[in-house]
A and B are shown apart, each in its own frame.
Chain A
Amino acid sequence: MKFLTTTAIVLTLAGGAQAQNDCAAGQTLRDGTLTIATGNPAFFPWVIDDAPQSGEGFEAAVAYAVAQEMGFSPEQVEWVRASFDQSIQPGAKDFDFNLQQFSITEEREQVVDFSDPYYTSAMAVLTTQKVVDSGIEPSVASLKGLLWGADANTTAVPMLTDLIGPDKQPMLYGDNVDVTAAMQAGQIDAALFDLPTALYLAAVVVEGGTILGQFPADRSENPDQFGLLFEDGNPLKDCVNAALANLKDSGKLAEIEAEWLQQATSVPVIE
């Protein structure tokens, strides 16, 4: 009976809009609204055309699916932008959760909270046809000799050391765009990205770009798992984890992945 009353009150308060499930009610930044943050700009194929409110792109679609599981209608979802630094700085956050391909790591977990992973990424080697033509093969031994680049803010940096161990110190950049600019200028031979980003950059951004090979997602060491980021101790985390579990069980998450992230079965695995 009490449950019914609560529901009735929430329904009244929400003015007839869809009601949150019991878990999320009262846990969000603003009652009746789920505030979600993403990068500025948000990149393809995670968000299409930098417009997350369209629900197009893998992360935008996941965000709306999670919202729906928690009982938020699409109209009740509000988007804000936050850089990586804004997301990890101490203090109150202006989002309920934040998704922009944050890799879950133990060290980061000490400062912020992560949900269960919603995607596990293969790491791929982006390079140019010229480098491939010069006889480089998808083997660790062959890759060591290249001049490497990576986005300094990503876990690609430690992975580069762990998975490949280049002979020369890698060049590091502030974002994807600068990495590709350096590749275009011939200053680096290859760069390490998560596979969906690498596929996009190779196809659209880098002239003569190609994927040399991948370290598959199900590798046992250093998996790259993306999680939704919360302010440390945010109680909403449990609700989001429950929603993600539902999405996984019902096959919805796999559906979204199939819709927005192309399958890259043709990319050779690096030995």
Chain B
Amino acid sequence: MGSNPSYPRTKRQIYEARQRRRANLIGGLSTAAVLMAIVLLVPLAPGWAAVKRVFFNGEVFAKTFPGLLNAFLLDIAIFLWCAPLIAVLGLALAIARDLRTPALTPLRLAAVGFIDVFRGLPVILVIYLIGFGIPGLGLPRPWNSPYLWGSLALILVYAAYVAEVIRSGIESVHDSQRNAALSLGLSGSDVMRFVVLPQAIRRVVPANMNLFIALQKDVALLSFIGPVEIFRQAGVYKSLYANFTPYLGAALIFLAITIPATRYADHLMNRQRKARS
């Protein structure tokens, strides 16, 4: 930057440009060498023909990909109805954990207990316990639906994570701000609402983005209790064709969503870092 074409370049600028060119050249060459080695050497492995037929089978891919895309719609639907509920419950939990009124101690303790339990359990365990356990009590249809209880399991676990992230945001707002707001005559809840939360939530947006990317992948766990979403559909194809290629198709579909989302989260984080410094 900053080099004005109307002036001759300084010696230093010429030197730096040459260094940059050299770095780019070496980087390009070494990347090309590694790629070439992979492309040329992997097919030489004795089992490559079998691996190619079972994992990278074009015919199976073409036959199963439309079905996988269709099943992915269910993943998106589950994500869309879970995400807002997770946000609401997570926020409520974070606020409950931060309560400072002595009379509300039971509520604060309940929030702490809830977060400890659901953050400490593997998601699949919660899905099994809630997805099969609660309907097993004898609820009539449609109240025993695996969609309903499976989603609830996801919501409970992810709300616990989101609550902790939001709490870290709340704690990042310095106490002096609360005291200042209180001294201006705002009530405790108004301080939270107008002073603390607007700053806290903005600060944890990138971290929450990461959680929602993780959620997008964990939606597939609902398949364990019945719904035929993309992961289960890929499993069915795998069994029918005795071929793992459908999993590759499913992986590509997930990546098509998660890579842009991750990049966006990175972008948000970078912007925030720049704004602070």
Contact = CB atoms under 8 A, between A and B. Distances in A.
Interface string B142-167: 00111000000000000000000000
Interface in B127-141: 132, 135-136, 138-141
19 contacts: A88-B244, A90-B50, A91-B51, A107-B242, A108-B241, A110-B53, A110-B242, A152-B235, A157-B239, A170-B228, A171-B226, A171-B227, A172-B235, A172-B236, A173-B225, A181-B136, A182-B146, A187-B145, A187-B226
A264 interface: no
A185 B50 contact: no
Interface in B1-60: 47, 50-51, 53-55
Closest 6 A/B residue pairs (Cβ): A171-B226, A90-B50, A108-B242, A185-B135, A111-B242, A88-B242
A241 interface: no
Contact of A185 (B54, B136, B228, B242): B136
B216 interface: no
Contacts, number: 95
A92 to B, nearest CB: 8
Contact of B54 (A111, A152, A174, A178): A111
Interface of B: 47, 50-51, 53-55, 132, 135-136, 138-141, 144-146, 223-228, 232, 235-236, 238-244
B138 A157 contact: no
Given A107-B240, A182-B132, A90 B47 contact: yes
A232 interface: yes
Contacts of A187: 135, 144-146, 225-226
A174 B224 contact: yes
A232 B53 CA distance: 12
Contact of B239 (A84, A110, A112, A171): A84
Interface string A164-182: 0000011111100010011
A184 B133 CA distance: 10
B51 A112 contact: no
Contacts of B146: 171, 182, 187
A90 B51 CA distance: 6
The residue among A108, A170, A182 with the most chain B CB atoms within 10 A of its own CB is A182
Nearest to A84: B239
B50 A173 contact: no
Contacts of B136: 181, 184-185
A232 B47 CA distance: 12
A21 interface: no
A88 B54 contact: yes
A181 B228 CA distance: 17
Contacts of A105: 240, 242
A26 interface: no
A195 interface: no
B93 to A, nearest CB: 28
Contacts of B235: 152-153, 172
Interface in A19-37: none
Given A112-B242, A187-B146, A152 B227 contact: no
Contact of B50 (A91, A181, A184): A91
Nearest to B59: A110
Given A105-B240, A178-B224, 8 more contacts: A88-B238, A108-B242, A111-B243, A152-B235, A171-B227, A178-B132, A182-B225, A186-B144
A262 interface: no
Contact of B226 (A85, A91, A155, A188): A188
A170 B146 CA distance: 12
Contacts of B227: 171
B135 A111 contact: no
Nearest to B144: A186
A110 B227 CA distance: 29
A91 B140 CA distance: 48
A158 B236 CA distance: 9
B144 A185 contact: yes
B226 to A, nearest CB: 3
A154 interface: yes
A173 B54 CA distance: 23
